Amino acid sequence: MRAKPFKIGNVTVGGKKLLLILGPCVIESERSARRAAARILTITRRLGVPFIFKASYDKANRTSGSSFRGPGLEEGCRILASISRDFGLPVTTDVHSPEEVTVAARHVDLLQIPAFLCRQTDLIAAAGASGRAVNVKKGQFLSPWEIEPIARKLRAAGCRRFFFTERGTTFGYNNLVADMRAIPWIRAQGFPLVFDATHSVQRPGGGGDRTTGDGELAPVLAAAAVAAGADGVFLETHENPAKAPSDGPNQIPLARLPGVLRQLLAIRHAL
């Protein structure tokens, strides 16, 4: 049985319209995050679609311990809350522990569970009990039918507003493959399903001390996922990916975003 559509701010999850989660990988500064939110909002308004703004306050699973991680929990949540308030946008970010959930839930509309932590029971339970909607990224190590236990944990915590994100499956060393069969398989279980085109084109650790990827393929996979029936798309975007301190090789240049979104919306409309 399909879950009923639900709202996160002005965005509907599981409805007729394509759900869009857009933003930079990490909060580099308050100024850059606000600039990104403003530019994406201008683009989506012209296309007549709402979106959830995404940016992480802490990239806790970087390949190298010396890599840029972000402004941290308190400052990052303050920046996200100000963006939500000033631009009228629902916002989301990763959380990594029950303690972080307690803080983040006061400031953001959607809590995101990273793929590496998707089976951490205490984290799932805390997010589920927070009163916020929850997005669980399916781990690269999970099959599509292994998400049901995660759903049970969320429901046991009192959460009814949740969905899953497909972001590729481990395919040998330093490589992922996006199996589009996962989209109908997960949706057939009754769960809304978003496709993460950014992280599905990663090559984890492919650069030795950093992750590389095939960012030029992100729009291709996003289009395939929408055609396969995904309820939404997760896309990280940056004004200059070559200078991004995190996941630059996989982010879509902001200048290309209007064309990518127009294509995805056209596919959704055709369906």
Measured CA to CA, the distance from residue 89 to residue 101 in angstroms comes to: 20
Rounded average pLDDT over 54-82: 87
Q: The tokens of 26 are what?
A: 């990490």
* pLDDT band, residue 248 (cuts 50/70/90): confident
Residues 89-106 have pLDDT tens digits of 999 999 999 999 999 999
Measured CA to CA, the distance from residue 189 to residue 119 in angstroms comes to: 18
Q: The tokens of 192 are what?
A: 């809304």
* pLDDT band, residue 256 (cuts 50/70/90): very high
pLDDT of residue 157: 98
pLDDT of residue 209: 65
Percent of the chain whose pLDDT exceeds 90: 81
**pLDDT at position 1 over 70:** no
pLDDT of residue 206: 67
pLDDT of residue 210: 65
CB-hemisphere CA count at 13 Å for 99? 2
Superfamily name with CATH number, domain 20-267: Aldolase class I (3.20.20.70)
Rounded average pLDDT over 118-143: 97
- Better-scored residue on pLDDT, 66 or 161: 161
Amino acid identity, position 202: Q
| CA dihedral sign of residues 213, 219, 224, 230 | positive
Rounded average pLDDT over 119-124: 98
**Which of 14-23, 128-137, 184-193, 194-203 comes out lowest in average pLDDT?**
194-203
- Better-scored residue on pLDDT, 82 or 173: 82
Residues 158-200 have pLDDT tens digits of 999 999 999 999 988 888 899 999 999 999 999 999 999 998 9
**pLDDT at position 37 over 80:** yes
Domain positions in the chain are 20-267
Whether residue 247 contacts residue 230, with contact meaning beta carbons closer than 8 Å, is answered with: no
Element (H, E) at 38: helix 30-47
pLDDT of residue 266: 98
Q: What is the pTM assigned to this prediction?
A: 0.95
Contacts of 118 (CB under 8 A, 6+ apart): 124, 136, 137, 138, 139, 142, 150
